[in-house]
Structure 1
Amino acid sequence: MNTDLQELLRIGSLAVDQAAAVVRGKVVGQVTGKGDRDMVSALDLIVEDRVRSFLKRETPEIGFLGEERGGENIDGADLTWALDPVDGTANLVHGLPLCGVSLGLVQGDRSVLGIIDLPFLQRRFCATDGNGAYAGDARLTSSATASLDAAIVSIGDYAVGAAAGERNRRRLAVTQLLAERALRVRMFGSAAVDLAWVASGQVDATIAMSNHPWDMAAGVCIAREAGCAVMDADGTPHTLKSSATVTAAPGVRDAVLKLLQDSKALVP
C-alpha cells in the first residue's frame, strides 16, 4: 500500500487526543489482576476500545494490536497499529503521574511511526521514519553525555509471572553493574516514559530486557529519530523480534553494551 506517514501521524494524533483526555479524567474504575503482580484497569479497556474503534473507522486497511484485547486484522497486514492504552498502569492506580498513552505503527518488524502522550506531564512526543522526532514543535536530540559515569540510566520493570526468578537474574546483574558504573540508576515504571526521555536527552540510556510491540513500537521510533542507538542486548539493530530494548545516546552506546556483556558473567 502507499504509505503516507504524515497523514497517518495526523490520524494517530487524533486517536491519542481522545485517549489522553480519558486518562486525564483519572477515573480508573475497577482494577483486575491479570496474572502474578500485574493488573488491568477499566480505564485501560476504555482507552483501548476507543482508540481501536476510531482507527478501524479511519484506517480500516491497517491492522491493530492492543495490549489488553489483542490483535485484529494483523495477519498479512502491511501495517499494524500497536497500542498500550496506559503504559504504567500500576503507577496510575497508585496516583503516580509517570504513565503514558503509546501508539506506534509497525511495518514488517520495524516501527515507522510513534506517538507518546504523557497526560499528567502535559508532553507529547512523536516521530515518523526518516523525518525526525519532536516534542511539540521542538526537534528532539539525544544527550551529549560521553561517559557512563556521567549518565542517568533507566531500567525496565523486573519480570513477574512464571519463572520470574530465573528471568530476573540478568536484570539484577545489569542493575548491579549500573550501580557500580553509572551516575544514577532510575526505574520509572513505564517504557513510554523511558523511551521518550532518552529521546529528549533527559535520560542518557534505558535498558529493558523485554520487547512487547505495544510497549516499544512508538518509543523506539521516537528514540531512533532523535539520534539514539536503539538495539537488542547484543548491539544488533532493534526490531520487533529483538529479545531486549536497549536505547542509548551515542556517547554511551559502547559502555552500555559492554556492561550488558559483562552482566552475563554474573548470572549463575
Structure 2
Amino acid sequence: MDLDHARTVAVEAVEAAGALLLEGARGAVGVRAKGVAGDVVTDLDLASEKLLLERILTAYPSHAVIAEESGLAGSAGAEWTWLVDPLDGTNNVAIGLPTYVVGVALCRAGRALLGVVHDPVSAQTWSAIRGRGAVASSGARLAPPYAPSPHGPLLAWTQGYDIARDDVTALRLKTALDRHARRVLQLWAPLLAWAMLARGDIDGIVGYRAEMVDLPAGALLAREAGIEIRALDGRPYEECIDAPAEERSFVAAHPRAVPGLLALVQ
C-alpha cells in the first residue's frame, strides 16, 4: 500500500469536499434532526459524504469505508478501512457559525496509518502518516512547543453524542476543568480541536466517550506532531476503530503537560 499516494487521494478529496461545504454554507442550509440526543444532519453533510465516498472508492474499490451518515460502504471485511467525517461541526453550520472541518483516516487492523483534516474556512489542510510526522499543506512540520501559562492550560473538551446531560462522570470532569483551566473550549468539531492541538494553538484535549469516526484521524495527527495521549487513569492509550465507547476517554497534551492534566481529571 502506497501511503503517499493515499495521502494525495485523501487531500484532494477533502479539499474538494471543503470547497463544496464552503459554497453551500453561504446559502440556506437544509437541517433536520438526527437521533434523539439533539444532534442534526444537513444537506451539506450528505453532499460532502457522497463526494468523499466516490473519490475514495474510485481510487480504492477493494477498500471498505465507514462514513458518519451512511455507515459501511465498499468491501466489507477488507484489509483497509477508511473513516469519513464529511462535516465535523454540523451543529455549527446549522446555526451559521463558520467552524467546521472535513476529516478522513485510513486504517489497517483497526489502527489509523493515515489521517487528513481540512479546514475550508482557513483553506488549510493537515495530514499525518504513522511514523513519519505531521505536516501542514505548506509542507511545514507540526511540532507544538511546551509553553505553560501561569493562568492554567487552554483546553478543548469533546464527548460522544449520546452522553446524557446528567452523566455524573462528564459533569465531574467538566467541573474540574472549569475550575483549573484558563479556558475550556467546546467547539462541536473535535477534528478542529485536534488540529489546533497539533499546531500548538491549545494546550490539551480531554475526551469522554468520544465518537469513533473522527477520533483516529485527529489523534494520529496530534501524535505525529509529538502529542501524548493517555487514558483518564494514566494508562497508555491507543485508539482503535473497534474500541467500545467506554474505552474512548482520554487526555491529550504535550508530554511535559500530561502529568498535570491527568492530575486534574483524576
TM-score (normalizing by structure 2): 0.89
Paired position in structure 1 for 2:197 = 198
Q: Distance in 2 between matches of 1:147 and 1:239?
A: 29
The amino acid that maps onto 1:244 is S
Aligned partner of 2:9 in structure 1 is 11
1:131 maps to 132
CA distance in structure 2 between the partners assigned to 1:147 and 1:169 by the alignment: 29
Q: Among the aligned pairs, what percent are the same residue? A: 29
Residues 154 and 182 in structure 2, CA contact (< 8 A), matched pair in contact too: yes
Q: Which residue of 2 aligns with 1:247?
A: 252
Residue identity opposite 1:199 in structure 2: A
Letter in 2 for 1:239: E
Asked if 1:79 is matched to 2:77, the reply is no
Count residues with an aligned counterpart: 256
Secondary structure of the residue aligned to 2:145 is: coil
What is the CA-CA distance between 1:97 and the residue it aligns to? 1.6
Tell whether the 8 Å contact from 1:227 to 1:249 is kept in structure 2 after alignment.
Answer: yes
> 1:150 aligns to what SS in structure 2?
coil
* Residue segments in structure 2 that go unaligned for 5+ positions in a row: none
Looking at secondary structure, tell me which structure has more helix per residue.
Answer: 1
Q: Which residue of 1 aligns with 2:261?
A: 256
Structure 1: gaps spanning 5 or more residues:
262-268
Q: 1:165: how far off? A: 3.5
Q: Secondary structure at the match of 1:214?
A: coil
- So what's the TM-score if we normalise by structure 1? 0.89
Deviation at 1:64, TM superposition (A): 0.3
Deviations 1:22-60 (A, max 9, x none): 011124632110122110001100110111011111111
* CA distance in 1: counterparts of 2:15 and 2:155, whole angstroms: 30
Shift of 1:75: 3.8
Identify the match of residue 19 of structure 2 among 14, 21, 27. 21
- Cα distance between partner residues in 2 of 1:252 and 1:75: 40
| Post-superposition offset of 1:9 | 0.3
Indicate if the aligned counterparts of 1:63 and 1:80 stay in contact, CA closer than 8 A.
yes
Task: Please say if 1:156 is aligned against 2:158.
Answer: yes
Q: After superposing the two structures, state which structure 1 stretch, 27-36 or 54-63, moved more.
A: 27-36
The answer as to whether partners of 1:28 and 1:41 remain within 8 angstroms in 2 is no
Cα distance, 1:148 vs structure 2: 8.2
Task: State the Cα RMSD in Å.
Answer: 1.9
